[in-house]
Structure 1
Amino acid sequence: MNIRELARRSGVSTATVSRALNDRAEVSEATRARIRRLANELGYAPNEPARTLVRRRSDTIGLIWDSGQEAQGLHNPFLLGMLSAVRTALSEADYHLMLLTTPGTEDPDGSYLQAVRRHNLEGVIVLTTPPDDRCLQVLADSGVPCAGIDTAFTGPRTVRISSDNAAGAEAAVEHLYALGHRRIATITGPLHLPPAAERLAGYRRACQRLGLTVPPDYVTEGDFFLDSGERAARRLLSVDQPPTAIFAAGDQMAIGAMHAAADAGLAVPRDLAVIGFDNIDAAALVRPALSTVAQDQRALGEAAVAALRALLDGEAERPERTAEPHIVPTKLLVRGSSRSGG
């Protein structure tokens, strides 16, 4: 079934069929309804590449995530959850999603921009890409609408969406302090990524406000994955005055810290309290269940799509590049790994 056959059976021209299916005003409501009904009965599907050329719109949004961590990202529950949340939000807004690959060797600086132009993408959503990604900055400088989730970049039509990472970290430290802990260490994520840097800033701010001393060896860097959390916790537990509590900037690292505690003969939370960040599914399944700072992935995805649509509609152009990020609140979930009396 093609548009010519649909036009023949409808008794109208192909131009009238095209106008009806694209909700053009030149076609009466009765004719539009009749053509749409017949198209559904006959299983007619428009040729999307052709429609894109005619309408100069693809209704497709590109998605980029950390070009240096794509393989690991496939095993990162939070990133996969974020991808699902963005896909759902785009689908509800009647947009398609295209995953853009990492820059190639041929003109790597402009490869994202080339992909956007080649596929006539409406805009791009970016997940946790380092702020020094030159290829991404070329894209942002071009004026293509870009919404970054936990990504710091600037451009004439860019917007950033982020969880309240610093406040979430502060809430975790305050909870541990209220339980009586005074030696609270942290395992950070890679500090070139904005979420990791913001969570460390929140941890330090809470410790300073509460009058807690933070020795240099109480801050150790991980990579958001389980093994790095286990290694980091072993280092923390081997210092002269080991911490009695650990705040990890990611749930997988927190679970790794719990493994290290078990290997050291420590009981969680009796000997060592542990709190993570993200609220991945595994956080509720480990024993004891992991206390964590929950991010609202659905709200992040919806905020990114809404911000991108505002850019597409011309409501949010920012030539001065000074816009503040859209912040989504976090929530501390207290479970067995930090519960008093555990």
Structure 2
Amino acid sequence: MTLNPPKTQRKVTMRDVARAANVSQSTVSRILSPASSKSKVPISEETKGKVLEVVKELGYQPNQYARSLRGQKNHVIGMLIADISNPFYHPMVRAVQDVASQYHYSVIIANSDHLHEKEMLFCETLLRRPVDGAVMIPYHLTDDDLQNLKARTGMAISAVGNHVQHPEVDVVYADDTKASYEAVHWLIKHRGHERIGMICASHKFPVIMRRYGAFQKAMADAGLSVPPEYVVEGDWSVESGRRAITSLLALPKPPTAVFAASDTIAIGALAAAEEMNYRVPEDIAIIGFDDIPAASWVRPQLSTVAQYPGEMGTLLAKALFERIRGEYNGPSRRFEVPCRFFERASA
């Protein structure tokens, strides 16, 4: 069966599905929401198959919001994070949940694993679930993706990241560009390093592009060059840091210092360097980014740029609930949370 969606830009409705499948709207409703149906009249498998095929062809999305009474709230919000196992996100999630509980809301948490397809899957889930808003930490979602979600649901959204520029999405971000520059500049000015490498995740992530750009600028401003082999790209894991520092220290002329794009990467690099009998910081200095709890537990303690995810989570949630509760309906607000460099033993 091949069907053409309505030519107008309006949203596909249950009536469109019923008309295309040549069944009643109540039949469509019973097939899509069997748990809520009180009818005991059976529906044939042929009819179910036809309706579901039409739903797929037309791209129909059940509108849970329209099922709620006008003005009624569902008391649920969604939260998309990149990696629930990364301790950086734990204070942020806790802060969002704490604010949500003040308004008697529950939080549905989804993990994207830094994958675009999982971020899009979360958006599709929000289209089907009766939620009033969402907190996003998007690594791949574009402003167009957010616009599509808002246009189809009308929900409030707040997001992390200076790259988000949607006119109706409130944004909380850390000034990691400035902080990255200052960390590398500190290695040059206060520790005398000239051969500095960088270990990072993929450059396809906006956050990595910002931190890498700041690293390069700090080096250029000091009149220092960065050999291509001094920049090692991997992922956000401890193991990635271990692999990267191993390759850097194997170079004929290795760097004397490394700026890592996250603490998890830096901790892996620190561990591997010491296993290879390099002294930290005498032979290789290491700086991380985030100031996760483990940064002050490892030995030597990790020099790092601190972000404040708990404060960021509180700002995200408060901005979201101001929109959900109708206390603010204006254009996007942008909240910058300053970073702070902690000089510890690793550099």
Give TM-score, length-normalised by structure 1: 0.71
Choose the corresponding residue for 1:268, options 242, 256, 280: 280
The one-character-per-residue Cα deviations of 1:281-337 (angstroms, maximum 9, x if unpaired) are 11111110111111111211122123323444373544xxxx584321100011110
Choose the corresponding residue for 1:183, options 192, 195, 210: 195
Q: Is the contact made by 2:146 and 2:166 (CA closer than 8 Å) also made in structure 1?
A: no
Residue 131 of structure 1 pairs with residue 131 of structure 2 = no
Cα distance between partner residues in 2 of 1:332 and 1:280: 13
Tell me the secondary structure at the aligned position of residue 346 of structure 2: helix
The one-character-per-residue Cα deviations of 1:254-295 (angstroms, maximum 9, x if unpaired) are 011112211332100111110101111111111101111111
Cα distance between partner residues in 1 of 2:124 and 2:273: 49
- Identity level (%): 32
Residue 327 of structure 1 pairs with residue 339 of structure 2 = no
Determine the structure 1 residue equivalent to 2:100.
90
Cα distance between partner residues in 2 of 1:112 and 1:267: 45
Determine the structure 2 residue equivalent to 1:30.
none
Residue 336 of structure 1 pairs with residue 345 of structure 2 = yes
Cα distance between partner residues in 2 of 1:149 and 1:218: 29
Equivalent pairs counted in the alignment come to: 274
Cα distance between partner residues in 2 of 1:190 and 1:223: 6
Cα distance between partner residues in 2 of 1:109 and 1:298: 22
The one-character-per-residue Cα deviations of 1:4-45 (angstroms, maximum 9, x if unpaired) are xxxxxxxxxxxxxxxxxxxxxxxxxxxxxxxxxxxxxxxxxx
Cα distance between partner residues in 1 of 2:285 and 2:119: 45
Aligned ranges 1:1-342 → 2 under 5 Å: 53=69, 55-66=71-82, 73-92=83-102, 94-100=104-110, 112=122, 115-116=125-126, 118-131=128-141, 138-142=148-152, 143-150=154-161, 152-177=163-188, 178-312=190-324, 313=326, 315=328, 317-318=330-331, 325-338=334-347
Cα distance between partner residues in 1 of 2:215 and 2:252: 21
Cα distance between partner residues in 1 of 2:277 and 2:111: 45
In structure 2, list runs of 5 or more residues that go unmatched: 1-67, 113-117
Counterpart of 1:233 in structure 2: which amino acid?
Answer: I
Cα distance between partner residues in 1 of 2:264 and 2:121: 32
Cα gap change, 1:81/1:189 in structure 2, threshold over 3 Å: closer, same or farther? farther
Cα distance between partner residues in 2 of 1:91 and 1:60: 10
Cα distance between partner residues in 2 of 1:93 and 1:240: 59
Q: Is the contact made by 2:196 and 2:256 (CA closer than 8 Å) also made in structure 1?
A: yes
Tell me the secondary structure at the aligned position of residue 336 of structure 1: coil
Tell me the secondary structure at the aligned position of residue 172 of structure 1: helix
Cα distance between partner residues in 1 of 2:192 and 2:119: 51
Q: Is the contact made by 2:263 and 2:288 (CA closer than 8 Å) also made in structure 1?
A: yes
Cα gap change, 1:332/1:89 in structure 2, threshold over 3 Å: closer, same or farther? farther
Give TM-score, length-normalised by structure 2: 0.70
Counterpart of 2:340 in structure 1: which amino acid?
Answer: K
Cα distance between partner residues in 1 of 2:169 and 2:313: 16
Cα gap change, 1:131/1:238 in structure 2, threshold over 3 Å: closer, same or farther? farther
Counterpart of 1:285 in structure 2: which amino acid?
Answer: W
In structure 1, list runs of 5 or more residues that go unmatched: 1-51, 67-72, 103-107
